[in-house]
């Protein structure tokens, strides 16, 4: 049966493995993927634990539509208490792991405790084994995967891997899969490293039963057409996510030189068309795109690193990789003020091999560069590295040093911004562009209050994939916005097509927060919903796709409520772990520079813009109100009861 699925709870300290079913009532409350993972993390991690201690848990979750007829049921969520922020850590990657995990008979793997020596978990056809990882430890992300396939004698094994950065406890280490599927922004790789867990390897030949196969197939055909007919996805399918850079940088919407400017100048080399040209040339084919399981958008390019002095110096000439993504353009070019294609391609390759978050490492290096510029760090602190903006070699050098923790500064920066600022001292914290202790991606939200609000409220810390109303930049007519934002629950408040406005934005953030939680529960891609395109599927379509695939009869409103519940559990987790709304370290507030430094570059609707603090606080208060939270952002007892979470703390885990 489509809903008869299992969770494995693995304790690495005792080597005990519990296999449990997912009760139907839990399904109806949380669906699967990230929503159910939030519940599992809440119940299986010890309140207030040190994220690097055995008391933390790391949870690998496939969405409820993983491997099914849902355009691309490819996404895996990895959730843990984030070693970087001390709050919720959750990342999401595509590729082929989630479907394989489900073919192996499992939807979620909960890992607790700590192994005495390096191990990996092998999940195959209903069985879970803890195996010795002595031959895998120390290997890069891809080397480890090819080695485990060799060891298990099966080239189709799919892995969720902790790379060398995770082994070295870099606090923003990723879990990786395949060449470059990256579980960014969650710190899961670091938690894995702290548990001596090198990877979860999955291989399965079991059925995932489709409730109504022919109907699912036919619906999927139309669903895919809806997705691939969107212009934004067609562009993504040829240029990949770097196409976004073409728009945002020329407009003035990217952070450069840490946070000092909002546009990178003279950067033709890293424009999407040039990346695309190199990609095709380097792999010798006009068909240069690849993608995740089942996906017809295929938004990722393949490339080889060009023969340049920088590539020769670091010994990576001709290495194969995939991407680079929009985020890497920001991390290795915009933020550190670099303009060269080879820096971008090498930086992207190194983070894939080390298994570290490109955004966090790029932001951290750029922050250090500003400290260097301001004289807070000197060449004595950097081991002689000339950490000035635009120094390509210094960026690549620092990626190595942070991931290996082999220099004093690399070691400090591997601890993440807040901990590093405590060690560096002086004014260093002032220059850190973070929310909840996680640094921002490279986009600049000073001209877009809706996007700024999203950053401050994102449950995993500053982040664009939790609730960003990206379509706010499209100046959609109000009736179109009304159609989107008053379904599946009514909304009669104001809406504005002007992205520099503050009115109506809190509701948009509420709506997108639930939209993205729902899509993460389903385990499908955000590019297949109302994220970058206004015509893409959401709640209405999901009700159908769920019915045909798993046989669950849920209304669009039911899915909305499930998403709201998932978000509430994440919020309750954060509150349990010390989040307070105005705390500059763990709060729901923007870094001060958003309120005080106007944009210096860009189009007329950007230049001179900054966030009005009072209006921001009003937006936040409205967001709390819409979500049924009190003035401190804590769910009211009535809201908690409404979503059936009143016993969350007391009840024994239902899984």
Partner 1 sequence: MEAKAIVVNHEKCTGCRRCELVCSVFHDGVSNPSKSRIKVEKWEWEGLYIPMTCRQCVDAPCLNVCPVKAIYRDEAEGRVHVDHDICIGCRSCVAVCPFGAMNFNPAEKKVFKCDLCSGDPQCVRFCDMKAVDFVTPSRESLGKKRDAALKISEARKLGATIQYEGL
Footprint on this chain of partner 1 (rule: CB under 8 A): 67-69, 72, 96, 99, 102-103, 142, 146, 155, 178-179, 205-210, 213-214, 216-217, 221, 224, 228, 283, 285, 287, 289-296, 298, 302, 320, 322
Residue 479: CB atoms within 10 A of its CB come to: 8
**Alpha-carbon span 527 to 237, nearest angstrom:** 11
Q: Do 389 and 373 meet the contact criterion of CB atoms below 8 Å apart?
A: yes
**Alpha-carbon span 325 to 348, nearest angstrom:** 8
Nearer to partner 1, 72 or 532 (CB): 72
Q: How far is the CB of 518 from partner 1 (least distance, A)?
A: 21
Nearer to partner 1, 290 or 459 (CB): 290
Nearer to partner 1, 163 or 506 (CB): 163
Nearer to partner 1, 285 or 614 (CB): 285
Nearer to partner 1, 12 or 62 (CB): 62
**Alpha-carbon span 449 to 506, nearest angstrom:** 9
Question: In terms of C-beta density within 10 A (0-12 exposed, 13-18 middle, 19 or more buried), how is residue 315 classed?
Answer: exposed
Q: Do 185 and 360 meet the contact criterion of CB atoms below 8 Å apart?
A: yes
Q: How far is the CB of 167 from partner 1 (least distance, A)?
A: 21
DSSP string, 34-84: HHHHHHHHHHHS-TT--TTSTT--EEEEE-TTTTSTTTT---EEEEEE-TT
Nearer to partner 1, 298 or 468 (CB): 298
Residue 195: CB atoms within 10 A of its CB come to: 27
Q: How far is the CB of 46 from partner 1 (least distance, A)?
A: 36
- Greatest Cα pair distance in the chain: 67
For 440, the 3-state DSSP assignment is: coil
Q: How far is the CB of 150 from partner 1 (least distance, A)?
A: 13
Length of the chain: 655
**Alpha-carbon span 98 to 95, nearest angstrom:** 8
- Residue 613 to residues 43, 406, 422, 604: CA-CA distances in angstroms? 36, 41, 26, 21
Q: How far is the CB of 146 from partner 1 (least distance, A)?
A: 7
Q: How far is the CB of 142 from partner 1 (least distance, A)?
A: 7
DSSP string, 133-166: -TTTTT--HHHHHHHHHHHHT-TT-EEEEE-HHH
DSSP lists the bridge partners of residue 60 as 78, 109
Residue 379: CB atoms within 10 A of its CB come to: 11
For 533, how many CA atoms within 13 A lie in the half-sphere containing its CB?
A: 20
Q: Which two tokens stand for residue 454?
A: 């999203």
Nearer to partner 1, 203 or 565 (CB): 203
Nearer to partner 1, 145 or 529 (CB): 145
Kindly report the CA angle at 248 between 243 and 249, in degrees rounded to 5?
Answer: 100
From first CA to last CA, the distance across the chain in angstroms is 19
Question: In terms of C-beta density within 10 A (0-12 exposed, 13-18 middle, 19 or more buried), how is residue 378 classed?
Answer: exposed
- Residue 610 to residues 209, 501, 597: CA-CA distances in angstroms? 52, 12, 6
Closest CA to 411 of 165, 630, 653: 165
Nearer to partner 1, 142 or 448 (CB): 142
Q: How far is the CB of 61 from partner 1 (least distance, A)?
A: 17
Omega prior to 324 cis, within 30 of 0: yes
Nearer to partner 1, 45 or 241 (CB): 241
Q: How far is the CB of 289 from partner 1 (least distance, A)?
A: 6
Look-up of token digits 């919720």 = 88
Q: How far is the CB of 237 from partner 1 (least distance, A)?
A: 9
Nearer to partner 1, 60 or 103 (CB): 103
Spell out the alpha helix ranges (H) of 496-612. Answer: 505-522, 539-550, 556-576, 593-596
Helices 358-373/341-354 angle, 10° precision: 120
Q: Do 442 and 367 meet the contact criterion of CB atoms below 8 Å apart?
A: no
Q: How far is the CB of 153 from partner 1 (least distance, A)?
A: 16
Nearer to partner 1, 159 or 361 (CB): 159
Q: How far is the CB of 205 from partner 1 (least distance, A)?
A: 4
Nearer to partner 1, 135 or 319 (CB): 319
Q: How far is the CB of 322 from partner 1 (least distance, A)?
A: 7
Look-up of token digits 């810390």 = 461
Q: Do 602 and 263 meet the contact criterion of CB atoms below 8 Å apart?
A: yes
Nearer to partner 1, 87 or 230 (CB): 230
Nearer to partner 1, 21 or 213 (CB): 213
Q: How far is the CB of 10 from partner 1 (least distance, A)?
A: 25
Q: How far is the CB of 292 from partner 1 (least distance, A)?
A: 7
**Alpha-carbon span 191 to 170, nearest angstrom:** 10
Q: How far is the CB of 208 from partner 1 (least distance, A)?
A: 4
Nearer to partner 1, 45 or 92 (CB): 92
Q: How far is the CB of 283 from partner 1 (least distance, A)?
A: 6
């Amino acid at each position: 049966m489509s809903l008869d699925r299992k969770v494995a709870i693995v304790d690495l300290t005792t080597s005990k493995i519990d296999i449990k079913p997912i009760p139907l009532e839990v399904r109806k409350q949380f669906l699967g993927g990230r929503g159910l993972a939030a519940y599992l993390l809440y119940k299986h991690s010890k309140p207030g634990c040190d994220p690097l201690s055995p008391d933390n848990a790391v949870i690998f979750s496939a969405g409820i539509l993983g491997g099914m007829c849902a355009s691309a049921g490819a996404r895996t969520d990895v959730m843990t208490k984030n070693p970087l922020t001390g709050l919720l850590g959750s990342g999401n990657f595509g590729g082929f792991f989630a479907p394989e995990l489900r073919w192996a008979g499992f939807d979620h793997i909960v890992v607790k405790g700590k192994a005495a020596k390096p191990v990996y978990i092998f999940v195959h056809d209903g069985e879970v084994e803890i195996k010795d990882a002595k031959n895998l430890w120390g290997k890069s992300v891809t080397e480890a995967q090819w080695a485990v396939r060799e060891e298990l004698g099966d080239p189709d094994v799919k892995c969720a891997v902790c790379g060398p950065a995770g082994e070295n406890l870099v606090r923003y280490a990723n879990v990786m899969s395949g060449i470059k599927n990256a579980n960014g922004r969650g710190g899961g790789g670091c938690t894995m490293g702290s548990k001596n867990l090198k990877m979860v390897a999955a291989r399965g030949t079991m059925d995932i039963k489709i409730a109504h196969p022919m109907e699912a197939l036919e619906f999927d055909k139309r669903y895919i057409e809806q997705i691939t007919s969107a212009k934004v996805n067609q562009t993504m399918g040829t240029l990949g996510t770097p196409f976004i850079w073409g728009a945002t940088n020329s407009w003035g919407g990217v952070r450069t030189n840490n946070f000092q400017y909002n546009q990178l100048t003279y950067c033709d080399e890293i424009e999407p068309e040039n990346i695309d040209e190199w990609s095709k040339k380097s792999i010798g084919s006009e068909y240069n795109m690849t993608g995740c399981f089942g996906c017809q958008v295929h938004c990722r390019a393949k490339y080889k690193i060009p023969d340049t002095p920088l590539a020769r110096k670091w010994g990576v000439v001709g290495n194969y990789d995939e991407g680079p993504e929009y985020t890497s353009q920001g991390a290795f070019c915009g933020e550190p003020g670099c303009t060269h294609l080879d820096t971008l391609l090498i930086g992207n390759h190194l983070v894939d091999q080390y298994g570290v978050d490109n955004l966090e490492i790029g932001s951290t290096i750029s922050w250090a560069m500003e400290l260097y510029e301001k004289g807070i760090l000197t060449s004595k602190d950097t081991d002689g590295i000339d950490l000035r903006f635009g120094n390509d070699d210094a960026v690549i050098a620092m990626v190595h040093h942070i991931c290996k923790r082999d220099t004093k500064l690399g070691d400090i920066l591997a601890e993440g911004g807040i901990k590093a600022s405590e060690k560096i001292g002086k004014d260093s914290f002032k220059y850190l562009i973070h929310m909840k202790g996680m640094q921002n991606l490279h986009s600049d939200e000073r001209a877009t209050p809706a996007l700024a609000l999203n950053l401050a409220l994102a449950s995993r810390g500053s982040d664009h994939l939790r609730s960003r109303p990206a379509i706010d930049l499209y100046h959609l007519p109000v009736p179109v916005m009304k159609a989107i934002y008053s379904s599946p629950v009514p909304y009669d408040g104001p809406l504005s097509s002007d992205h520099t406005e503050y009115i109506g934005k809190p509701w948009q953030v509420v709506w997108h927060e639930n939209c993205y939680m729902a899509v993460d529960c389903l385990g499908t891609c955000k590019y297949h919903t109302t994220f970058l395109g206004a015509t893409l599927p959401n709640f209405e379509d999901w009700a159908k796709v769920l019915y045909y695939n798993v046989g669950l009869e849920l209304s669009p409103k039911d899915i909305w409520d499930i998403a709201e519940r998932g978000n509430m559990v994440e919020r309750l987790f954060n509150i349990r772990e010390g989040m307070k709304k105005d705390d500059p370290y763990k709060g729901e507030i923007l870094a001060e520079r958003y309120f005080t430094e106007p944009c210096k570059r860009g189009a007329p609707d950007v230049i001179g813009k900054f966030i009005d603090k009072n209006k921001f606080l009003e937006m936040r208060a409205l967001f709390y109100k819409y979500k049924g939270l009190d003035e401190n952002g804590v769910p009211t007892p009535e809201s908690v009861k409404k979503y059936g979470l009143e016993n969350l703390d007391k009840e024994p885990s239902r899984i």
